[in-house]
Structure formats: structure tokens, C-alpha cells
Homo-oligomer: A and B are copies of this chain.
Amino acid sequence: MNFIKNYECTLCHRLYQPNATVMTCPVCGELGILEINYDYLAMKKVVNRDYFKNNQDYTMWRYTPLMSIEQRPEMALKVGWTPLYQTLNLQKAVGFDLIYVKDEGLNPTGSLKDRASAVGICKALESNASVIACSSTGNAASSLAGNAAKMGMKAVIFVPKRAPKGKLAQLGIYGAEVILVDGDYKDAFALSKEAIAQYGWYNRNAAINPHLIEGKKTVAYEIAEQMDFKPTDWVVVSVGDGCTIGGVYKGFKDLYELGLIDKIPKLLGVQAEGCAPFYEAWIKHRDILETEENTIADSIAVGIPRNPQKAIQAVRQSMGAWITVSDQEILFAMSLLGKTEGIFGEPAGVAGLAGLIKAKQTGLILTHESITVIVTGNGLKDTVNAMKAIKEPIFIKPDLNLLKPLLNELKKEKL
């Protein structure tokens, strides 16, 4: 059972009865992404402080009654309850009083997207589908493949040809059927859409499927709960198609409606300079336009965001802001996070931190404001780009005499 009240079209605001097979608004078509509304009054009777205190299930499944699934899956990867660290070294280096980092790279397949994929597969199983499919720049794909393997479902995945090798290896190991499309994310998305319609597969594309955001929102629940329901002033997250920031907002909004938190944090949406359709629309007060996909942060390189409404609303309604960062700033953030906190994020994963550093420089976020940065993916997914962020290791013959002059040099750098 769940506490769904109805589905609401984000464009025309028509309401629909919950129905597992409807994906988008029958009137507005594909652009009419649905929002799932809950009966918070009924939910409140089950979900309160005591519910959390007595719950020993330290995974995202502890939030089952707040989601759109019928029941906790029996066989599932241990998604969620990732570490939230106060960053004593990092906050000092960046110049804020209080920065927390939520390390989503420690999810089972290495990214926040596990939360969405796991819910997608639950819904696919509820609708008796035997195949689930998606198009993805990488993490949606690998999370779908891994979670589908555990839950006994076949995954077909359409990826653009620029997907890093490491991510392809992961898909293959999880036994997914991988279709590498000779084109970019748009082409992969279009082909997946046609194939899903043609073959009747369950659709995991986050842009279309309203349930995936219901998985992603659990990251906000965890941030709040891990801070004893007193979240920070700001939450910072990198943005590609917009579903993740939409989910973060929804999670905090749910908790606010349930009376579990007093305020919704301001959301800072961070995009790569080389692919920033949300930022461009916000700064120029215009609609979202298709842009190029020109950044090393492949997981947020989305030139046509398919689900823009929820992301735009997330920033607007939280009184947040948008910001962009260069690839160089992303690489700097990657190195800084690693050496100060021992956390290795992929480029899109650390873009949020790069945005925070910029927000400090521009005065958008003030020193005394408290911040949570979500690191969305594990750096091991893309070591090719990580190599650009570091200095070359010292390569020597095994001879202590050769080491000495090198160490003398290092000592000057306070070894």
C-alpha cells in the first residue's frame, strides 16, 4: 500500500487517479510530466519521528511508506543511507563555517541514480513487465543494470557513444543488453523511446517516468534525518536533465508537509558551462533552449532537459539559484575534495562543490550559511578525467639514492 492521492500534470494541472501504466498526461502528451501527490494527513499517522527512531532498515527502503511503490522489494541492493560527513578540512579550505558532504558515490553501483532505478524496477515488477529499458549518459544505465540484475529483471540500455569505458564495462558485467548508439544523448533517447513503444518494455527514462523522482527524493530524506531533521540553509547539487534536483526538492517538501522539518533548504543548481540550458534560461529570463553538450561532466551533459518544470520549480520555490562552472573548476573541486576529505567524486559528482566555491567568490552564499553538497557519483567511474586533475606520480628505479633529492624537493612543499 501507499499514500498516493493523485497524479497531477505539471503543465495543465489536471488530476488523474493513480495508475501504474500511465506515464505522462494523456492530454498534454509527452511534455505533460506527471507529479505524484500524496495524502499527507494519512501519511502523518504512520510517518513521524518515532517511525524513524524505531526503523532498523538502514537503506532507502526505510522510506517505503513515503514513496509510490506498493511494498519494500524482497530482493534489492542496499541502496541509500550513504555517508553524510561534516567536512572539517574542506570547509576551512573553501571558507565556510559549516559544509556537509553527502557521498552518493557509495551507493551499490556508484551513484545517486541507484535510488531512481531501484524504484523504477519495483514499478516495472508491479506492472508485470519482463524488460525495463532506458537511455542514459551512464549512471542511470549502470544503476538500472545492477539493480535489475539483483531483482531478476532484464535491462536494455541505450547509451550515447561518448559514454566512458568504465561505465560500459559495468553495464556488461551486470548482464544488461547494451545498445551503443552512434550519436549523442538525444539520439540514444529518441531510439530508446521508439523501441520502448514498439516492444512494450517498461520505460525507466527519468524524464518520462514520474516514479523515478520518488526514488531520488530519498536523498533529501536522508540528509534531513542524518542531521536530526535540521537541514542546512543550502543544498547544492549538479544538474543534467533536472530530475535529481527536482527529487531533492520533493523530498524536503514532503518532510515539510509532514511537519518533520521547519524549512526547505535553498537549492543551488550547478551546471557545466559547456552545457547549461537551465542556467541560461534563468539568467536570461527565457525558456529552455537546446544547447551543445560540451563538458567532461558527462553525467550532466544533457542538451535537451526532458523534465525541466520540476527543476525550475525546485530552484524557484526554494528561493535558490543557478550557477555554472568550467571543466577546470570541476577538476579543481575533484582534487580539493579528495585531498581534504578522502572522497573521490566523478566530474559531474563534484560539479556541485565547484559551484559552491564559485558561489562563495560571487557572494551568492555567505560564510555563515550552512551547506550540504551532494556528491552524485563515484570518481572510479571516470578515471580518465581524474588523471587530468592530478600531477603525474614520481617514476623512479628502486634506489634510495634516487629518492633522496625528490624528497628534499617535497619537503619544501611541507611533506
Contact = CB atoms under 8 A, between A and B. Distances in A.
Interface stretch (A182-190, A250-258, A308-316): A182-190
Interface string A363-403: 00000000000000011110100110111011111111001
Contact of A178 (B89, B103, B182, B394): B394
A403 B187 CA distance: 13
Nearest to A81: B58
Contact of A386 (B106, B156, B169): B169
A385 to B, nearest CB: 9
Contacts of A178: 393-394
Contacts of A148: 342
A175 B410 CA distance: 13
Contact of A154 (B85, B378, B415): B415
B88 A390 contact: no
Interface stretch (A63-71, A191-199, A205-213, A234-242): A191-199
A1 interface: no
A152 B152 CA distance: 43
Contacts of A47: none
A172 B391 contact: yes
Q: How large is the interface on A (under 10, 10 to 19, 20 to 34, 35 or more residues)?
A: 35 or more
A8 B109 CA distance: 42
A303 interface: no
A180 interface: yes
A244 interface: no
Given A181-B396, A403-B179, A172 B110 contact: no
A344 B380 contact: no
A83 B75 contact: no
A198 B400 contact: yes
Contacts of A154: 415
A259 interface: no
A233 interface: no
A346 to B, nearest CB: 10
Contacts of A182: 395-398
Contact of A394 (B179, B338, B400, B403): B179
A85 B77 CA distance: 8
A44 interface: no
Contact of A191 (B131, B341, B381, B398): B398
A170 interface: yes
A178 to B, nearest CB: 4
Contact of A175 (B77, B146, B156, B338): B338
A334 interface: yes
Contact of A344 (B109, B198, B386): B109
A106 B390 CA distance: 24
Given A131-B415, A415-B156, A389 B110 contact: no
A396 B180 contact: yes
A147 interface: yes
Interface in A117-157: 131, 145-152, 154, 156
12 contacts: A83-B108, A150-B341, A170-B344, A170-B380, A172-B389, A174-B338, A174-B344, A175-B340, A190-B398, A191-B403, A198-B400, A378-B380
Given A110-B378, A182-B395, 19 more contacts: A78-B106, A108-B342, A131-B415, A146-B342, A149-B340, A149-B342, A151-B342, A165-B383, A169-B390, A170-B344, A173-B335, A173-B339, A173-B386, A178-B394, A180-B394, A181-B396, A183-B397, A190-B398, A199-B407
Nearest 9 Cβ contacts at the A-B interface = A175-B339, A172-B390, A173-B338, A150-B342, A178-B393, A380-B380, A149-B342, A78-B83, A146-B342
